[in-house]
Structure 1
Amino acid sequence: MTAPKPYELRADYDTKTITVYQAYSPQIATAALEHGRFVAPFSFNRMTWIKPSFLWLMARSNWGARPGQERTLAVRITRTGWERALALAVPTDPQAPGYGSYDRWRVAFDRAAVHVQWDTERSLHGAGLPYYSIQVGLSRHVIREFVDEWITEIVDLTERVRKMRDFLNSRQVDKARRLLPREAVYPLSPELRRRICASE
């Protein structure tokens, strides 16, 4: 099997949608699942981060054990919305190519409706891997669009996450691995690849 490229966008997607993952408190998750979209107490006034890497989120939320991140949601959004977010994005890295200087990057970053950040990908056990996964930060300027136009489905993965955590704690790694969501390399146009600093 070919090793992943360092900055490669991997996700669960089909011809029309892509799945991103988020971890929330029970209050936010329950309200979202009841309405099929995010509603209060979800905040529309601050940046929300969406992540196509399930394992990165598991490391971040400690498999749903971290306070305020007990519920894991799979949020299915349109590929049109996803690619619009990427097209609006400015990387969090001031050394990203295309800006010429820190000052030019800073101005673009401060004005950006979307931020992108590459973080070390994680294994089932939370160890760092030699390649990265992407996070996409949606500012208050695009959150309504995300909620009202991009989301096609919200699925509660909390029980699945608990089962996987129990398998890992009892050293039944193969059983946990079988429950991982599928992932494949997401196709990017050359323009989007440059925009988010993805590998060629």
Structure 2
Amino acid sequence: MTALRQIRAQHDARTIVVYQAYSSAIADPALREGRFVPPFSFQRMTWIKPSFLWLMHRSNWGQKSGQERILAIRVTREGWEEALSQAVLTTSHPDLVAKAPVHVQWDPERSLRGAALNHYSIQVGIGRGLIKRYAEEWVTGLEDITPQVRKIAQQVRNGKAANAQRLLPPERLYTLPRELAGRLDIDV
């Protein structure tokens, strides 16, 4: 049985992969430079998601306007955990949320076909005060996975769920120190 709230992600000893959907106007310069550069906004919160399927639901498999390009972003585990250590749950008192440098929100995880599941995925909002650190220090690599997304989406549309499932990025449990996990409502 899957725990209600856990971080499931693609990760290794040094990094974790998060996903974001962008327009080509933002994705192309970022991929060319190997890092986020304008027109990526350093002036507003950016939301990162370690759940591939949640982002596929959110972006409609890269079909929503302004979300046509799906990037897999490698972030240092140190940066990820630093962000989480400064996070406040969006369900907290509004004054606390307004002042927080990082927001954490739990949304229903999604199936391959977009149905809400009975467990949750974490979404992490990096605020303006940390975006430069996120972009310049924590991000170690950007990969355009749009072709893979389109291939998986086509398999789903063609009723080939087993084929689509085999193409998904491998996500597994990402554990945090007990105190931090407890503060973020993560099941331990």
Q: Same fold (TM over 0.5)?
A: yes
Question: By how many angstroms is 1:197 displaced?
Answer: 1.2
Distance 1:28 1:80 in 2: 26
Aligned to 1:47: 45
Distance 2:42 2:24 in 1: 18
Q: TM-score, normalised by structure 1?
A: 0.92
CA RMSD of aligned residues (A): 0.8
1:119 correspondence with 2:107: yes
Distance 2:158 2:9 in 1: 28
1:158 correspondence with 2:146: yes
Question: By how many angstroms is 1:108 displaced?
Answer: 1.9
1:69-88 superposed matches below 5 A: 69-88=67-86
Question: By how many angstroms is 1:191 displaced?
Answer: 1.6
What amino acid is the match of 1:20?
A: V
Give the conservation status (yes or no) of the 8 Å contact 1:86–1:195.
no
Distance 1:107 1:127 in 2: 33
Aligned to 1:134: 122
Runs (5+) with no aligned partner, structure 1: 95-104
Distance 2:151 2:142 in 1: 19
Distance 1:111 1:93 in 2: 14
SS in 2 for 1:13: coil
1:88-99 superposed matches below 5 A: 88-94=86-92
Summarize deviations over 1:25-68 as a string: whole Å, max 9, x none.
01101111001111111100000000000000000000011100
Aligned-pair identity in percent equals 53
What amino acid is the match of 2:143?
A: V
SS in 1 for 2:117: strand
What amino acid is the match of 1:112?
A: A
Aligned to 1:97: none
What amino acid is the match of 1:154?
A: L
1:168 to 141, 156, 173: 156
Question: How many equivalent residue pairs?
Answer: 188
Summarize deviations over 1:152-188 as a string: whole Å, max 9, x none.
1101100000111111111111111111000111011
Higher deviation after alignment, 182-191 or 105-114: 105-114
Question: By how many angstroms is 1:24 displaced?
Answer: 0.3
Distance 2:182 2:98 in 1: 19
Distance 1:125 1:107 in 2: 37
What amino acid is the match of 1:119?
A: D
